[in-house]
Amino acid sequence: MKTSTLTKVVQLLAIGIYSIGILSSCSSQTTPAEAATQTNEAAPKEMPTIMAELTDAPNVPAPITRKHAAKVVVKLEVTEVVKKMADGVNYTFWTFGGSVPGKFIRIRQNDEVEFHLMNHPDSKNPHNIDLHAVSGPGGGAASTFTAPGQETVFSFKALNPGLYVYHCATAPVGMHIANGMYGLILVEPEAGLPKVDKEYYVMQGDFYTKGDFGVPGLQPFDMQKALDENPSYVVFNGSVGALTGDNALTAKVGENIRLFVGNGGPNLISSFHVIGEIFDKVYAEGGSTINENIQTTLVPAGGAAITEFKADVPGNYVLVDHSIFRAFNKGALGMLKVEGNEDKKIYSGQIVQKIYQPEGSTVQEMPKSKAPAVALASNKDMRLELGKTLYAQNCQACHQAEGQGIKGAFPPLAKSDYLNADVNRAIGVVAHGLEGQIKVNGELYNSTMPKLKLSDEEIANVMTYVLNTWGNKGGEITPAQVGKAKANFKH
């Protein structure tokens, strides 16, 4: 072989060996693209940001279906607004989001929450927020002192699942809570809550007004009543009637219902009960312990509970604080209307009605007490407003919120032939009570109507309200007419 040819072969071999080395080196190292991919896979994924869905009672945000934690942004505005406490009665509520209770907040365990508290420029007071779901100083209160026209922001991680109260904690704390500054925040467990058909938000509160229950006008806060723990009103969702009539909760036979129940207080413990139902499950105090087959559950001031039950038969089910005078005399009463097919095996309805008249039976009389000041109606519209409040306080427990009565026990006032045929007779019944059998709308009733300790003015008001409601004949009753009807009453 010639020298020149040998030289070329050596050069080619050298180039080949070098190329093999390069390829070997490349095969043992990652390319820049591969390195970037591996880096992204190794690094934690960025947590998604979600705007919280906030709802007014009795509505609840949709259940959380995501299987991962998120950064949840909550924006809650504080406003001071005049709203209805009862018919004819207004009150200046301090609110989280314009309503009492405040907005329902729903998040998931291990979510990281960025919380914005805005105090409306028209507010007269500074406010903050203490969320019982927060692990940190004041539950967030230490970081959210917010003057009117200002916004504060803090963040927290939702460590513990459960249903928690939030409230204002600005001094005087009791006054801020008593004016309506409370709500609920649900931290769902990572696995979520069991699926149900209906979810509702119900929160009790006690209110302290200068005027007693039903006294009309814009009522101011009464600090002495609050200190004495003697509320004028005990209500669900911020006002008398917030969960009755057109505002009643609804469900169908066979549906499973979950109630998120809170108690803002500031003073009273709630004995929460649904008349005619048994709670299949109660998440005691809003935590993880589940009790079963519960009739009434205690909800402490500043506490909560989750109740679940199945609607087995149709009808109207009354929600009450079973400290029962609060329900029928101070407003802690709501309604769940269940529609669907009857099941006579579960509940037969009345089977037999017959007269039972033991010796010595007499008409009951309401106990005497010092009469409160009576508001005088200057026109029919005012008489209707005052009468509606009197009806809720004195008559609704028996004759029901829509005047339908209770079959076999208390006669209906809606489209009542007994009432419309002789109004003066009906006035006498209210004033003197009634015992014995009567027929109303073709049905026999033999219950006892107690004497009501109402003034002529009050009887005129409540009778005017009943006559102008539920399809009755209308008209206006005056105190003078009441006086004559009482004097001439014969049953």
Task: Please compute the mean of the pLDDT values over residues 62-83 and round it to a whole number.
Answer: 97
Question: pLDDT per residue over 313-329, tens digit each?
Answer: 999 999 999 999 999 89
Q: Round the CA-based radius of gyration of the chain to a whole number and report it.
A: 33
185: which strand partners? 105, 164
Q: Would you place residue 212 in the very low, low, confident or very high pLDDT band (cuts 50, 70, 90)?
A: very high
Contact partners, residue 344, CB within 8 Å, separation at least 6 = none
| CA distance linking residue 261 with residue 278, whole number of Å | 15
Q: Is the pLDDT of residue 430 over 70?
A: yes
Q: Would you place residue 352 in the very low, low, confident or very high pLDDT band (cuts 50, 70, 90)?
A: confident
| CA distance linking residue 68 with residue 109, whole number of Å | 9
Average pLDDT of every residue of the chain = 88
Q: Is the pLDDT of residue 39 over 70?
A: no
| CA distance linking residue 11 with residue 8, whole number of Å | 5
User: Residue 32: its pLDDT value, please?
Assistant: 41
Q: Token pair 């409540």 is at which residue?
A: 462
| Tokens standing for residue 367 | 């106990």
| CA distance linking residue 90 with residue 114, whole number of Å | 35
User: Residue 20: its pLDDT value, please?
Assistant: 38
Rounded to 5°, the CA angle 202-203-204 comes to 130
| CA distance linking residue 141 with residue 271, whole number of Å | 29
Q: What's at 227, amino acid-wise? A: L
User: What is the rounded end-to-end Cα distance, in angstroms, of the chain?
Assistant: 144
Q: Which of 281, 282, 292, 344 is nearest to 315 (CA)?
A: 344
User: Residue 374: its pLDDT value, please?
Assistant: 58
Q: Would you place residue 434 in the very low, low, confident or very high pLDDT band (cuts 50, 70, 90)?
A: confident
The residue that leads in pLDDT, 23 or 373, is 373
DSSP 252: E
Q: Is the pLDDT of residue 406 over 70?
A: yes
Residue-wise burial string across 64-77, b where 16 or more C-beta atoms lie within 10 A, e elsewhere? beeeebbebbbbbb
| Tokens standing for residue 58 | 């009795």
Q: Are strands 249-252 and 438-440 parallel, antiparallel or unpaired?
A: unpaired
Question: pLDDT per residue over 123-165, tens digit each?
Answer: 999 999 999 999 999 999 999 999 999 999 999 999 999 999 9
User: Residue 10: its pLDDT value, please?
Assistant: 37
Residue-wise burial string across 361-400, b where 16 or more C-beta atoms lie within 10 A, e elsewhere? eeeeeeeeeeeeebbebeeeebbbbbbbbbbbbbbbbbbb
386: left (phi over 0), alpha (psi -120 to 50) or beta: alpha
Task: Please compute the mean of the pLDDT values over residues 376-404 and round it to a whole number.
Answer: 87
User: Residue 17: its pLDDT value, please?
Assistant: 37
User: Residue 375: its pLDDT value, please?
Assistant: 66
| CA distance linking residue 197 with residue 146, whole number of Å | 39
Q: Is the pLDDT of residue 337 over 90?
A: yes
Q: Token pair 């009857």 is at which residue?
A: 342
User: Residue 355: its pLDDT value, please?
Assistant: 64
Q: What's at 160, amino acid-wise? A: N
Q: Which of 162, 166, 174 is nearest to 144 (CA)?
A: 166
User: Residue 73: its pLDDT value, please?
Assistant: 98
Least confident of 23-37, 126-140, 477-491: 23-37
User: Residue 365: its pLDDT value, please?
Assistant: 60
Q: What percent of the chain has pLDDT over 70?
A: 86
Least confident of 23-32, 244-253, 296-305: 23-32
Cβ atoms 451, 491 nearer than 8 A: no
Q: Is the pLDDT of residue 62 over 50?
A: yes
Q: What is the pTM of this model?
A: 0.73
Q: What percent of the chain has pLDDT over 90?
A: 71
| CA distance linking residue 74 with residue 395, whole number of Å | 43
What stretches of 142-292 show up as alpha helix (H) in DSSP? Answer: 173-178, 223-228
337: which strand partners? 250, 316
Q: Is the pLDDT of residue 400 over 70?
A: yes
Q: Would you place residue 359 in the very low, low, confident or very high pLDDT band (cuts 50, 70, 90)?
A: low
Q: Would you place residue 349 in the very low, low, confident or very high pLDDT band (cuts 50, 70, 90)?
A: confident
